[in-house]
Each structure stands twice: as C-alpha cells, then as structure tokens.
C-alpha cells in the first residue's frame, strides 16, 4: 500500500525478483475485487457423485425398508417386510390353524350337540327385551306375543280399569290377550246403590258383550257402586265379576271400601228427580262428581286425595285375588 492510500500488486517471479504494477485500486470502490484473490473451494468428498448416489460410503445410509410396488408375479403369501435383519411374513399358518379349529368346534357343537343352543340364546335375549318393554308398557304384551293361550275382555275402555286387569292377568298367565270394549249401560242408574244392583249391572254388561261379539271366553266387568253397610255408614267400592261361559266359571271379588260422609247421600237424593226412571237402582248423580267438586279435584281422584289409596290400587288388589281364584278353578 502506498502513501497516498492506493494499492500496489507485486508479482514475484520465480527468479526472486519483484515486479510492480502501476495500476492503482481505490479501497472504497474496488473492495469487491479482493474476492478474486480468494482461493477456490475444496473438492467434494470422493463418495458423492454427480448422480447423487453413494459409492464408497454407501454403508453409511440405510436402504428403504418397504417398497410400495408389488411385482405382478408375487403372491400375497410371498410378501415380506424387512427391517435390517428381521423378516416378517404376512401370513401365519398357526393362526389359520387355530381359526379353523375354533370354527370347527363351533360347527361341531351346534351341528352335533346343540341345534337348540343358539335357539335358547335367541329366546333368552327375546324374553329379556320383552320383559323390559312390557315393564315400561304392559299393553305391549299383546303385540309381542305371537300366540295366546286365551283372550279376555273387559267391559270398559277406561284406562284405570283395563290397565289394572291387564297387568294382573298377564302376570298370572304366560300368554293372554286383554282388551277393553266399552258398554253403554242404559238400564241402570248412573250411581248404582247396593250389592244386588251392582251384580245385576255387571252381568248385564257381560251379556251385552257376548251378544255383540259371539264370544264365549272369560269376560270381566268392573262395576263401581256405593253401599250402606249399616245405618248412616256409606262406602264406595268396586265389584269385579268374571264370567267364563266356555268353562262354566263365575267369580266375584270386591275392592277395599272407602268411607265418605253420609251428608253426601242427602245431596245426591236432592239432585235426583223423583220421577227418575232408574231410581230403583240408584241416583242420577254420582258420588265422584260431588266429592270431586267438594275437594276441587277430578272426579277420578277423590278417593286418593281423601284416603291416600287410588282406585287403581284398589282394583289391582281385588284383581289379584280374582286371578288366583280363576287359576285354581282351571286346575
């Protein structure tokens, strides 16, 4: 470098003498030219070739363990997968042997010993499902059962009466169809009074069902009525009468009696006209209507509000007695 800040390039010849070039290079403009004196990069390693493949150092790289290409001539049983020195076959003959033995055992068991085995399992599952369904809705027994031992008719379509009889008799018999048919009773008072009138009204309903349907099987009539057990002591109760013309069976049971104030009778007498055509069998106004108005509840709920026992519970208890009497009579 000279005193004025320029550079001098000195070429040294092989004979030891130096030669100077007079070309001056300014440092602030020609700095990039210094790169020309930087030596070229060193050569690439010998194992790297222009094609990118390995030569002398090929052992440094792992080969692919799996190739997605399957030769056409290769069958499934010949396919193998390699991981270094380990080889895994896609087919295990021992598994095939075990599978064949297992299914063979099932086949032999079902074919030779237990054609009923699967039938029993299916029947058990069917009964379990049916039990759950009928517990939630007892009426579904009529639809689940494909056949019935016999049919039973209730002379009413009121849910409290039909559902009670259905529940009890379907628990007492394996296969029984219970249905309700409404009978409009026109020969008796709206509020029947006395045991005798209640029995006549129940029999009349059953005879009407038989004449309209030509049915000789068991028919049940649930008849609500009131009775004076002794002076000034009145009770509300239900008669449950079963008549089986085909088997010649006639049975009667009564529900638990519910007392009510005798003053209610005076009200019903006052509301019943003297010329009421059915005055000999009762009143034209029911006790349920009067008690419901006094207690400000639905007429069907007054028994439960007054005593804590619903009419359905009373019918259920009486029907349980009736179904057992009927079963014992059939023996």
Does residue 158 or residue 109 have the better pLDDT? 158
Sign for the CA dihedral angle at 213, 218, 222, 223 comes to positive
Q: Where are the beta strands (DSSP E) in the chain?
A: 10-12, 18-20, 80-83, 86-89, 150-154, 176-180, 191-192, 218-230, 233-244, 249-254, 258-260, 282-283
Mean pLDDT of the chain: 75
Phi, psi of 233 (to 5 degrees): -125, 105
Taking only the tens place, the pLDDT of each residue in 205-257 is 999 999 988 899 999 999 999 999 999 899 999 999 999 999 999 999 999 99
What is the CA 96 to chain-centroid distance, rounded?
Answer: 38
Distance CA 69, CA 89 (A): 17
CA angle, corner 144, sides to 138 and 150, nearest 5? 80
Least confident of 118-132, 167-181, 247-261: 118-132
Task: Indicate the class that CATH gives domain 138-330.
Answer: alpha beta
User: Which pLDDT score, from 0 to 100, does residue 143 have?
Assistant: 47
User: Which pLDDT score, from 0 to 100, does residue 214 have?
Assistant: 86
User: Which pLDDT score, from 0 to 100, does residue 144 have?
Assistant: 46
Distance CA 84, CA 295 (A): 92
Phi, psi of 270 (to 5 degrees): -70, -35
DSSP lists the bridge partners of residue 54 as 48
Say if residue 166's pLDDT is above 90.
Answer: yes
Taking only the tens place, the pLDDT of each residue in 49-105 is 544 444 444 455 555 555 555 555 544 444 444 444 444 444 445 555 555 555 555
- In the chain, the percentage of residues whose pLDDT exceeds 70 is 55
User: Which pLDDT score, from 0 to 100, does residue 71 have?
Assistant: 54
Taking only the tens place, the pLDDT of each residue in 264-288 is 999 999 999 999 999 999 999 999 9
**Could you tell me the residue ranges of all domains in the chain?**
138-330
- In the chain, the percentage of residues whose pLDDT exceeds 90 is 48
In 3D, which of 214, 134, 121, 169 has the Cα closest to residue 320? 169
* pTM over the 0.75 mark: no
DSSP lists the bridge partners of residue 272 as none
Which are the contacts of 54, defined by CB distance < 8 A and separation ≥ 6?
A: 47, 60, 61
User: Which pLDDT score, from 0 to 100, does residue 136 have?
Assistant: 55
Say if residue 107's pLDDT is above 60.
Answer: no
DSSP 187: S
Burial class (CB in 10 A: 0-12, 13-18, 19+), 168: buried
User: Which pLDDT score, from 0 to 100, does residue 87 have?
Assistant: 46
């Amino acid at each position: 470098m000279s005193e004025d800040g320029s550079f001098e390039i000195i070429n040294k010849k092989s004979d030891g003498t130096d030669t100077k070039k007079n070309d001056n290079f300014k440092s602030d403009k020609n700095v990039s030219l210094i790169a020309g004196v930087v030596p070229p990069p060193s050569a690439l390693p010998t194992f790297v070739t222009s094609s990118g493949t390995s030569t002398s150092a090929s052992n440094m790289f792992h080969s692919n363990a799996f190739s997605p290409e399957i030769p056409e001539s290769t069958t499934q049983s010949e396919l193998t997968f390699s991981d270094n020195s380990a080889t895994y076959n896609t087919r295990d003959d021992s598994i095939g042997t075990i599978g064949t033995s297992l299914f063979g055992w099932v086949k032999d068991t079902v074919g030779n010993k237990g054609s009923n085995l699967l039938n029993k399992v299916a029947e058990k599952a069917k009964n379990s499902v049916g039990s759950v369904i009928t517990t939630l809705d007892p009426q579904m027994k009529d639809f689940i059962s494909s056949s019935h031992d016999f049919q039973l008719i209730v002379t009413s379509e009121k849910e409290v009466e039909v559902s009670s009889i259905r529940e009890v008799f379907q628990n007492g018999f394996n296969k029984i169809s219970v249905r309700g048919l409404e009978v409009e009773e026109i020969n008796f008072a709206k509020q029947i009074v006395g045991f005798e009138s209640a029995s006549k009204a129940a029999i009349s309903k059953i005879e009407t069902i038989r004449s309209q349907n030509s049915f000789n099987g068991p028919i049940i009539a649930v008849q609500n009525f009131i009775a004076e057990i002794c002076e000034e002591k009145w009770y509300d109760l239900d008669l449950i009468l079963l008549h089986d013309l085909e088997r010649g069976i006639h049975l009667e049971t009564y529900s638990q009696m519910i007392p009510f104030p005798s003053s209610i009778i005076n009200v019903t007498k006052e509301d019943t006209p003297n010329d009421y055509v059915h005055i000999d069998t009762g009143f034209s106004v029911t006790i349920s209507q009067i008690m419901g108005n006094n207690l400000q509840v639905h007429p069907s709920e007054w028994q439960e509000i007054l005593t804590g026992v619903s009419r359905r519970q009373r019918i259920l208890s009486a029907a349980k007695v009736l179904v057992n009497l009927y079963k014992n009579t059939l023996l």
